[in-house]
Amino acid sequence: MMEEKEEMAKVFVVGHRNPDTDSICSAISYANLKNTSDDGKQYVACRAGRVNEETKYVLNYFGIQEPELVEDVRTQVRDIDFRRTPGVQRNISLKTAWRIMKDERVVTVPVVNRKRLEGVLTVSDITDSFMEAYDSEILSTAHTRYCNIVDTLEGTLLIGDEKAYYTKGKVLVAAANPDLMESYISKHDLVILGNRYESQLCAIEMEADCIVVCEGAPVSLTIRKLAQERGCTVISTPFDTFTAARFINQSMPISYFMRRDHLITFEEDEFIDDIRDTMASVRHRDFPIINSQGQYLGTISRRNLLGAKKKQVILVDHNESGQAVRGIQDAQILEIIDHHRLGTIETMTPVYFRNQPLGCTATIIYQMYQEQGVELTREIAGLLCGAIISDTLLFRSPTCTAIDRMVAEKLGMIAKIDLESFAKEMFAAGSNLKNKTEEQIFFQDYKRFTMESLEVGVAQISSMNPDELSELCTRMPAYLEKAAEQQKVDMIFMMLTSIIDESTILLCYGKNCEKIVQYAFTKQLTDGKVELPGVVSRKKQLVPALMTGIQMMMQ
């Protein structure tokens, strides 16, 4: 199989909901073909529902993993070109945070710890800090690192440890002579002063924790030695005392100002339809994006939503909106590869639409491999062959054409399988319904159709075991009413198809279904069921007949 292409636009190749073997195998095979022939995008095979046992058998036989589950193709946060603003550490200074905001041209910076979001800091938080009248102990209260002070004052650390924190004392400016300084300097204070030796000496002897020497004045070896002995940090700054005193509060860590509580964040998997109202209801300009583990990824603003790109999708084995993955109306459909009747899918722009009256989508995809000259691997050939066997009931279905049979035989040779033996094992795996609930059985192969003004659901179970079908004939009728209510359809049918006998017992529920069956097959329902000899195909035999019956009833 082709390796994933990194950093490319993704295109999801997906079949219908409640996927069958053709839907899954065609999606995998067509994604592989597109990746072989198109270097510009990454084509990803997906499934819109649970993989049934028959399909699992085929995938396991050829060592292929189940496709990625995609239940909704509406645009998600991850699809938007949101801003990858790097997170910052909680102990950086206000000045550093302001510089980052200016350089990145943002008004919000997320605060992270080991990639996990801790809080956010906004421009308004910083401007508020400049306007507040803080007391002289705010620097120590905020637990400011000395490296922050050095950076903010554009200074040099002469004595001390830049990684240490200033945690006690007040900030003051030593403008008086040394005699007066002794009356207002306390232990642990941070003293901003000039080049007077006596003032520096006095501050150190009064057990100040730090002295900031302004205007780049030299600090004598005696002062440095005494400061080292007393554990006093010495910082030299080119600023004068007024400027140093004005700027020093900008060295406080942003952890003292950042917002921790009631943060509005969005996960990358959220749909933009679901976040629009939240974004419109608050005044924030930027919102942090996190992943499912709480790790910070970037920020998003309302402006980002304007350029939101739709998911790109290729549909295989269906063209009915009622069968398509949820959110298909909000996706960009690029192609449709199908073998069913024309349905209700609408597109905004022209698309590549290939629809052929064949028994299986996989047959069409085989033709496309041949047309493009791409060699089939054993694994891809096996998937396509399994899909044809499944959809044509090993060539028993009336939908099967001579082309389907010819292609399956060629694929079987490439895949090195005996078609009869493989089919028997595959159908046996698919009809093994032990320990399954009625719901699991019913939705193993279920499709929804719009017929005139009615919504109609049709499920099908194909089996080579007559005893199993007989049990389902007794077990499943009671579930149909619940299924109809759950799916919100007007009527619902279930085909219990015998592959060996090439016949179907049809279970029915819904208003007027008795009349419709009578018009369609000239047969009467008995206890909500009817035998249909020779009917094995939902696509070619049942659905067209039901549509005719509905039209006749409405006349």
pLDDT digits (tens, 9 = 90+) for 72-119: 999 998 888 888 888 899 999 999 999 998 988 888 899 998 889 999
Any bridge partners for residue 504, and if so which? 497, 532
| pLDDT at position 343 | 85
Distance CA 155, CA 93 (A): 15
Is the Cβ–Cβ distance between 102 and 117 less than 8 Å?
Answer: no
Q: Is the pLDDT of residue 5 over 60?
A: no
| pLDDT at position 131 | 67
Q: Which of 10-24, 33-47, 90-104, 175-189 has the lowest mean pLDDT?
A: 175-189
Under the banding of pLDDT at 50, 70 and 90, the label for residue 389 is very high
pLDDT in tens, 371-383: 999 999 999 999 9
The DSSP letter of residue 330 is G
Spans of all domains in the chain: 10-75+311-430, 78-129+256-306, 143-251, 438-554
- Amino acid letter, residue 46: C
Q: Is 50 exposed, middle or buried (0-12, 13-18, 19+ CB in 10 A)?
A: middle
| Mean predicted lDDT score pLDDT of the chain | 91
Q: Please compute the mean of the pLDDT values over residues 152-179 and round it to a whole number.
A: 90
Any bridge partners for residue 267, and if so which? 290
What's the pTM value of the predicted model, to 2 decimals? 0.72
Q: Is the pLDDT of residue 179 over 70?
A: no
- Amino acid letter, residue 72: D
Contacts of 310 (CB under 8 A, 6+ apart): 75, 79, 330, 331, 332
Distance CA 248, CA 150 (A): 9
The DSSP letter of residue 542 is I
pLDDT in tens, 271-297: 998 888 888 877 777 889 999 888 999
| pLDDT at position 6 | 46
Under the banding of pLDDT at 50, 70 and 90, the label for residue 4 is very low
C-alpha distances in Å from residue 124, one per residue of 86, 100, 131: 19, 15, 11
Q: Report residue 87 as tokens.
A: 């997170």
Q: Which of 62-71, 79-88, 264-273, 541-550 has the lowest mean pLDDT?
A: 79-88
Number of Cα atoms under 13 Å in the Cβ half of residue 54: 30
Beta-strand runs (E) in 15-52: 42-47
Distance CA 534, CA 548 (A): 18
Can you name the CATH fold of 78-129+256-306?
CBS-domain (3.10.580)
What CATH code is assigned to 438-554?
3.10.310.20
Asked whether the domain spanning 438-554 has the same topology as the one spanning 143-251, the reply is: no
Q: Which of 60-64, 175-179, 235-239, 321-325 has the lowest mean pLDDT?
A: 175-179
Q: Please compute the mean of the pLDDT values over residues 295-303 and round it to a whole number.
A: 88
| pLDDT at position 2 | 39
Task: Please count the other Cβ atoms lying within 10 Å of the Cβ belonging to residue 204.
Answer: 21
**CATH superfamily of the 10-75+311-430 domain:** inorganic pyrophosphatase (n-terminal core) (3.90.1640.10)
Q: Is the pLDDT of residue 128 over 80?
A: no
| pLDDT at position 105 | 86
Q: Does domain 143-251 have CATH number 3.40.1390.20?
A: yes
Q: Please compute the mean of the pLDDT values over residues 400-418 and round it to a whole number.
A: 97
What does the longest C-alpha to C-alpha distance in the chain come to? 117
Q: Which of 12-21, 178-187, 190-199, 410-419 has the lowest mean pLDDT?
A: 178-187
Strands 446-451 and 352-355: unpaired
